Amino acid sequence: MRLDEGFLGYETRPIADDIREIGVGLIDRDPSIRPNYVTNRTNNGDFSTARANTLGITPEQRPWLFVIKKNKTVLERLLGWIRHHVADGQDENGRRIVQRLPLLLIDDEADHASVDTGEQVFGEDGAPDEEHQPTAINSLTRKILHTFTRSAYVGYTATPFANIFIHERGQTKEEGPDLFPSAFIVNLAAPSSYVGPAQIFGLQSTSGRTAGLPLFRPVADHTGEDGKGGWMPHTHKNGYVPLTDRESGLPLTLEQAIDSFLIACAVRDLRGQGDAHSSMLVHVTRFTSVQKHVHEKVENYVSKLKQRLVRRIGHETAVGRLEKLWLSDFVPTSATAQSEFPVFADDASLPEWSEVLEMVTRIIADVDVRMINGTAKDALDYADQQGQGLKVIAIGGDKLSRGLTLEGLCTSYFLRTSKMYDTLMQMGRWFGYRPGYIDLCRLYTTDELADWFGHIADAAEELREEFDLMAAAGSTPRDYGLKVQSHPVLLVTSRLKMRAARSLMLSFSGQVSETVSLFSENGVLQRNLDATASLVRQLGTGENDPVRQRGDSTQRWKGRLWNDVPAAKVIDFLNAYRTHPDAYKVNSVLLAEFITRMNLERELTSWTVAVIGSHRAHMSQDGF
């Protein structure tokens, strides 16, 4: 549907003559530039044998669009059709190839399924084993690319951790080169209004962790003290029946999350966003059988609350609970978001509680509690809904992890545990744009998961900086070693996807740190000059124009030299001195931090400091 709107310009429907222009098709209605399509937006619109048998392509025709699932059978069907109906030549090994037509293959969620998890052996000379058999999706994707003499592969993913660990020299006879991103990695910068991991969990800095939006609410009532009992133990199995002493059969925090979602829907309506979709995510288990129990309890909770509020019989307790949540949570949170994060919450004014309660009573009948099992219908409901927006509490597991967009996600209740950066990030569907309602959004999860997400946010931000450094240096991934910050508990990605990765201990030790990137602003230059003058004043007389014997040669240079300088003076200087952000290998604050840590190990405690000039330097203890 997105490609219909953004590329084709018309809806792909089984009846070819029924052209309904949308998106870019409304900009230019010229039928002569309309691309052709093979697959369509219907539930059974993927590439089929019947469709392949009726399809012919000639060089004179316009581009053809195929939207293909990363499914072994479908990809085999496409590869067979290309080889038998499109190929117009052979290579030196007799392999059928396409010479007259180019191919652009766009791989969405490129870190998922497309990465070869098999172990390819490399010889002492670094040459790959050409008889290696890659995993199915990786093999078929590469075979399709390798069948065209002119082809380009572009991968998109929010979690590129696995892709950078693909072996850069991986290759086989049948599949050709592996999918290592050898040409480029482009960091797609997000607009300032995008709410990503850094905006929710903050980022680690030299002065501590920066504050994130005040949306996280800790969950600690889902398991017993040892993590094995309670409503949703960490290690529950298929067929497990979640139990709790509460009347609803749900933990208190999940009840609060549902109440929070109802309030968010009501306030959105009062803010004029009633036609927009609102969603809540409940992601607590990967087992469908357990999801059914959760679905039943949540549906009962919403149904009973609706009866009490609408009929106004025994509703006092429920109303009091909702009002308490409003006063203790929504009112202060909206105020904080508006004052401290105005770029996200500049229109976070709240209505009166009486208006909110009336709207909750009105809209609760529209709330649909459903299980999401990944069918096309689940994703299409949003587009099919006309007028009033959907209000959905989506209960699911793995099918919620990738691809499916939960429109207007307001509230998340998230307990699933994975110990891989990319899996956790993909499970976290709460990142995105929240115009006009970010202050109403809530994330209910455990303190441990929040800590893990905070670390992954740091690692992802550092990796993005790596990509930017690589681009600024004019390098490609093939000649620039990329690294990802590790964690004592979490894995960066599946061990199988990290076969080509190596662990490194990184520090400034043994490194020459120098820079030619300097500020031109007078204010910064004066500050740096003052920091240097302060250091020189503290160092004393020193040695003028030092002379040193290096073997048979005599080394002379103009300037001044000080020996046995205490580390504290060097640390103070580095903290006062400001290095240019383009000086990638030299960050004065990080250098100071490194020296401080080494001092704790009784290393780097005594320093030699030199001021070197190209002509005779005249210095005094008062400065230069």
pLDDT in tens, 58-100: 656 688 899 999 999 999 999 999 998 889 899 888 889 999 8
Cβ-proximal residues to 299 (8 Å cutoff; 6+ apart), any chain? 369
Per-residue pLDDT reduced to its tens digit, 19-28 = 789 999 999 8
Place of tokens 């000379």: 125
Helices and strands per DSSP (H, E), number in the chain: 17, 23
Q: Are residues 54 and 163 both part of a single domain?
A: yes
Comparing 151 with 478, the larger pLDDT belongs to: 151
Query: The pTM is what?
Result: 0.68
DSSP code, position 136: H
- Separation CA 322–CA 607 (nearest Å): 63
Residue 168 within a domain: yes
Per-residue pLDDT reduced to its tens digit, 383-428 = 555 557 889 998 877 665 555 667 888 998 988 666 665 566 666 6
Residue 268 within a domain: yes
Which two three-digit tokens encode residue 160? 């590129």
Q: Are residues 139 and 273 both part of a single domain?
A: no
Instruction: Note whether 344 and 434 are within 8 A (CB).
Output: yes
Residue 452 within a domain: yes
Instruction: Note whether 12 and 5 are within 8 A (CB).
Output: no
Residue 348 within a domain: yes
Q: In the predicted model, is pLDDT for residue 617 greater than 50?
A: no
* Residue where a domain terminates, one of 425, 457, 489: 457
* Residue where a domain terminates, one of 434, 457, 480: 457
- Separation CA 189–CA 461 (nearest Å): 11
pLDDT for the residue numbered 500: 63
Which two three-digit tokens encode residue 3? 């490609």
**Distances 9 to 304, 383, 385, 471 between C-alpha atoms, Å:** 46, 17, 21, 33
Which two three-digit tokens encode residue 435? 């115009």
Per-residue pLDDT reduced to its tens digit, 234-274 = 788 889 899 888 999 999 999 999 999 999 999 999 999 98
Instruction: Note whether 396 and 372 are within 8 A (CB).
Output: yes
Q: Are residues 300 and 410 both part of a single domain?
A: yes
384-422 exposure pattern, b = at least 16 Cβ within 10 A, e = fewer = eeeeebbbbbbbbbbbbbbeeebbbbbbbbbbbebebbb
CB neighbourhood size of 99 (10 A) = 13
Q: Could you list the beta-strand ranges (E) of 213-350.
A: 216-218, 278-283
- Average pLDDT, integer, range 569-595: 85
- Separation CA 388–CA 191 (nearest Å): 28
Q: Are residues 530 and 417 both part of a single domain?
A: no
Q: Are residues 105 and 254 both part of a single domain?
A: no
Per-residue pLDDT reduced to its tens digit, 8-67 = 999 988 776 677 899 999 998 888 888 888 888 888 888 887 777 777 666 566 888 999
Q: Are residues 277 and 397 both part of a single domain?
A: yes
- Separation CA 417–CA 490 (nearest Å): 11
Stretch among 100-104, 137-141, 405-409 having the lowest mean pLDDT: 405-409
Q: Which helix (H) or strand (E) holds 253?
A: helix 252-270
- Separation CA 26–CA 49 (nearest Å): 33
Q: pLDDT above 90 covers what percent of the chain?
A: 35
Comparing 56 with 432, the larger pLDDT belongs to: 432
Place of tokens 């050709």: 176
| Three-state secondary structure readout of 453-474 | HHHHHHHHHHHHHHHHHHHHCC
Q: Are residues 233 and 374 both part of a single domain?
A: yes
pLDDT for the residue numbered 441: 92
DSSP code, position 489: S
Domain range for 24: 2-177
Residue 37 within a domain: yes
The tally of CA atoms less than 13 A away on the side-chain side of residue 14 is 6
Q: Are residues 207 and 151 both part of a single domain?
A: no
Q: Are residues 148 and 200 both part of a single domain?
A: no
Can you tell me whether residue 550 is helix, strand or coil?
strand
Residues in the chain: 624
Return the C-alpha torsion angle 526, 528, 533, 534, nearest 10.
Answer: 110
Which two three-digit tokens encode residue 518? 């300097």
CA 267 to chain centre: 29
Residue 390 within a domain: yes
Residue 422 within a domain: yes
Instruction: Note whether 414 and 444 are within 8 A (CB).
Output: yes
Stretch among 59-63, 157-161, 525-529, 613-617 having the lowest mean pLDDT: 613-617
Q: Are residues 159 and 211 both part of a single domain?
A: no
Q: Are residues 153 and 7 both part of a single domain?
A: yes
- Average pLDDT, integer, range 576-598: 83
**Distances 490 to 184, 417, 424, 459 between C-alpha atoms, Å:** 27, 11, 10, 12
Can you tell me whether residue 383 is helix, strand or coil?
helix
Q: How many domains does the chain have?
A: 3
Per-residue pLDDT reduced to its tens digit, 554-577 = 888 888 899 999 999 999 999 999
Of 490, 487, 498, the residue nearest 419 (C-alpha): 490
Partners of 442 in the beta sheet?
A: 411
Q: Are residues 95 and 139 both part of a single domain?
A: yes
* Residue where a domain terminates, one of 457, 489, 509: 457
- Provide DSSP, 87-116: --EE-TT--EEB-SS-EEEEEETTTSS-S-
Residue 47 within a domain: yes
Of 76, 81, 96, the residue nearest 146 (C-alpha): 96
